[in-house]
Chain A
Amino acid sequence: MPLKNTNIVSAAQTKFGKLEGVTLREMFAEAVDKATTQAGVPKEDIQAAFIGTFIPEMLVHQGHTAPLLLDYAGMRGLPATRHEAACASGATALRAAIMAIESGLYDTVLVAGAEKMTSVSTNRATEALAAAADDEFESGIGLTFPGVFAIAAVAHMQEYGTTEEDMALVAVKAHKNASTNPLAQFQKEITLEKALTPRYIAWPLKLFDCSPISDGAAALVLTSNEKAKQYTDTPVRIIGTGQASASMNLCDRTVLTSFEASVKASRIAYDMAGLGPKDMDFAVVHDCFTIAEIIATEDLGLFEPGEGARAVREGVTALDGDMPVNPMGGLKAVGHPVGATGVKQAVVVYRELIGEAGPNQVPRHDTAIMHNFGGTGATCVVNIMRRADA
């Protein structure tokens, strides 16, 4: 049965990128302010906060971030809990908020995510991010996140003939979409040749196959049907949600060309919504690496296994294609402040669904899917959203 009572009524993000001189709490407060006061939702209406941050302990030496951030944003006193699931932290916070509203416990809640990553060197950030993999058996021997997805890429290339050029085309599309997104870290188009620059991070993944190290925050207000109309004429309903886990270790998977948690979480979400992949007008997927986008589009059933690369080559996933994927530029070009990402993906879906995505507006925008992925794919959250009047 589709979820019945959860609406997004406002959504905002800060600019993503190297936000020199802006601290975690300052960007959090900016995103929250934009999604509440500036969007006509008084902060006094918020009853609880669900907050995604991944590794602030390692990046800015700060734990217990939920009350800290909420306090700085002027909302001291509310129940505030941090949700951590590596790169899926944001979407697990969102899911907890969905459950809180569907249960009737609250009417109106805040969902927000933030990460400050450029405070440390690239090697340091790489090490901190590696905490999302198993420290005993994989990250502990020097496997990195680009490495995890490189191993999946090599398997996908072998199994389906996917090429480095196919992956580079995902980057070209991402940078093109981000070129008209003023909140993106990279706002310049790149050529295929540039995307193929052989600066290897984890072979066969090169600089342009990777999402960057970023700072940023995003926020949403969720509310019940009864309250939604007092904030907006165009609420967006969350009608299906799914979450699944998988083995932490990549070596414990029998298949490396697909992520089983993505498949499971999406089937749960589709079943709940009573819809299938063909009903989706566009998709926002977790493209932490170019290969991750290709595999995600297959795992969500948008394309057959092994057909994701062809969809990119033929322009199907372009902004004006039949199934636009990451229409605002994705993690790849907009940036990936880890704890903010899952929330930001919902911000993108919201803006596209209500028709306020400006030059990045997709033509058909009634129903969409978002896919947020954590670590080696050990956590995946999928949500299906629809404009309430669609």
Chain B
Amino acid sequence: MSGRPSLEQYKKNIEARDFKAYKCAKCGAVIAPPVGVCYSCGGTQMEWTGVSGKGKLVSYTVIHVAPEQFQDEAPYYIGIVELEEGTRITVRLTGLDPQRPAEVKIGMPMVLDYDTGKSGRTYLAFRPA
């Protein structure tokens, strides 16, 4: 995992259930999903970093009508989680009942998880802590 971070490797890491974020080499900001330029300092030099895997739920939905390639997985949760490290990321949510979305609470603590869908793809996911 040395060398310059790349989008391709970022996705491979998720597929291998070994999530890593980008870190700005100049100011240390943790960045995920990847961007080319650090919005905190303008730095373009990125490194890999592990994350604590802790975060909180910012908002969410349950997808019922899905794109063709995901329809077999519906209904499924998608949410935005703010990591302890500060960055926000869009993920699948696991461990929640898709028929009872009203019971899910914004702000609730979440932990890193992975979800392998019927499509065979592994998604970055979070579940209630």
| A204: Cβ under 8 A from any B Cβ | yes
Contacting chain B: which of A219-227, A248-256, A327-335?
A: A248-256
Interface pair A137/B58, CB less than 8 Å apart = no
Q: How many A-B residue pairs have CB under 8 A?
A: 104
- Produce 1/0 per residue, B105-126, CB < 8 A to A: 0100000000000000001100
Interface pair B88/A203, CB less than 8 Å apart = no
| B69: Cβ under 8 A from any A Cβ | yes
Interface pair B63/A142, CB less than 8 Å apart = yes
Contacting chain B: which of A20-28, A124-132, A280-288?
A: A124-132
Which of A151, A155, A249, A251 has the largest count of B CB atoms less than 10 A from its CB? Answer: A251
User: CA separation between A252 and B90, bound complex, in Å?
Assistant: 9
| A72: Cβ under 8 A from any B Cβ | no
Q: Closest residue to B64 on the A side, CB-wise?
A: A200
- Produce 1/0 per residue, A122-156, CB < 8 A to B: 11101100100010111101111011001110110
> Which of B11, B33, B75, B92 meets A251, CB within 8 Å?
B33
User: CA separation between A205 and B75, bound complex, in Å?
Assistant: 13
A142/B106 contact (C-beta < 8 A), A123-B67, A202-B61 known: no
Interface pair A142/B90, CB less than 8 Å apart = no
Interface pair B71/A123, CB less than 8 Å apart = yes
A127/B69 contact (C-beta < 8 A), A141-B123, A151-B80 known: yes
Interface pair A126/B67, CB less than 8 Å apart = yes
User: CA separation between A250 and B78, bound complex, in Å?
Assistant: 12
Interface residues on A, range: 35 or more
| A158: Cβ under 8 A from any B Cβ | yes
Enumerate chain B residues within 8 angstroms of A204, measured Cβ to Cβ: 61, 101
Interface pair A143/B90, CB less than 8 Å apart = yes
- Produce 1/0 per residue, B61-77, CB < 8 A to A: 11111111111010110
User: CA separation between A355 and B61, bound complex, in Å?
Assistant: 42
Enumerate chain A residues within 8 angstroms of B101, measured Cβ to Cβ: 203-204
| A272: Cβ under 8 A from any B Cβ | no
- Produce 1/0 per residue, A234-258, CB < 8 A to B: 0000000000000001111000100
A123/B65 contact (C-beta < 8 A), A141-B92, A151-B78, A251-B88 known: yes
| B91: Cβ under 8 A from any A Cβ | yes
| B7: Cβ under 8 A from any A Cβ | yes
Q: Closest residue to B7 on the A side, CB-wise?
A: A136
Nearest CB in chain B: distance from A253 CB, A: 8
Interface pair A203/B76, CB less than 8 Å apart = no
| A201: Cβ under 8 A from any B Cβ | yes
Which of A130, A146, A202 has the largest count of B CB atoms less than 10 A from its CB? Answer: A202
Enumerate chain B residues within 8 angstroms of A122, measured Cβ to Cβ: 65
Enumerate chain B residues within 8 angstroms of A146, measured Cβ to Cβ: 63, 65
Enumerate chain A residues within 8 angstroms of B62, measured Cβ to Cβ: 150, 200, 202-203
| B59: Cβ under 8 A from any A Cβ | yes
Interface pair B80/A137, CB less than 8 Å apart = no
Enumerate chain A residues within 8 angstroms of B35, measured Cβ to Cβ: 252
Enumerate chain B residues within 8 angstroms of A250, measured Cβ to Cβ: 80, 90
A144/B106 contact (C-beta < 8 A), A137-B90, A249-B90 known: no
Nearest CB in chain A: distance from B92 CB, A: 6
Q: Closest residue to B115 on the A side, CB-wise?
A: A141
> Which of B7, B59, B92 meets A151, CB within 8 Å?
B59
User: CA separation between A200 and B35, bound complex, in Å?
Assistant: 33
Q: Closest residue to A164 on the B side, CB-wise?
A: B102
User: CA separation between A258 and B3, bound complex, in Å?
Assistant: 38
Q: Closest residue to B98 on the A side, CB-wise?
A: A203
User: CA separation between A139 and B33, bound complex, in Å?
Assistant: 13
User: CA separation between A204 and B70, bound complex, in Å?
Assistant: 19
> Which of A142, A150, A203, A256 meets B66, CB within 8 Å?
A142
User: CA separation between A215 and B33, bound complex, in Å?
Assistant: 35
Enumerate chain A residues within 8 angstroms of B91, measured Cβ to Cβ: 141
Interface pair A151/B61, CB less than 8 Å apart = yes
- Produce 1/0 per residue, A176-203, CB < 8 A to B: 0000000000000000000000001111
Enumerate chain A residues within 8 angstroms of B65, measured Cβ to Cβ: 122-123, 126, 144, 146, 201-202
Interface pair A142/B88, CB less than 8 Å apart = no
Q: Closest residue to B62 on the A side, CB-wise?
A: A203
Nearest CB in chain B: distance from A247 CB, A: 9
Q: Closest residue to B107 on the A side, CB-wise?
A: A158
| Interface pairs A-B: 7 shortest CB-CB | A127-B67, A150-B61, A142-B70, A137-B33, A203-B62, A123-B68, A251-B88
27 contacts between A and B (CB under 8 A): A123-B66, A123-B67, A124-B68, A126-B66, A126-B68, A127-B67, A130-B67, A141-B92, A142-B67, A142-B78, A142-B92, A143-B78, A144-B63, A144-B65, A150-B62, A151-B78, A151-B80, A200-B62, A202-B63, A203-B64, A251-B33, A251-B80, A251-B89, A252-B33, A252-B88, A256-B58, A256-B80
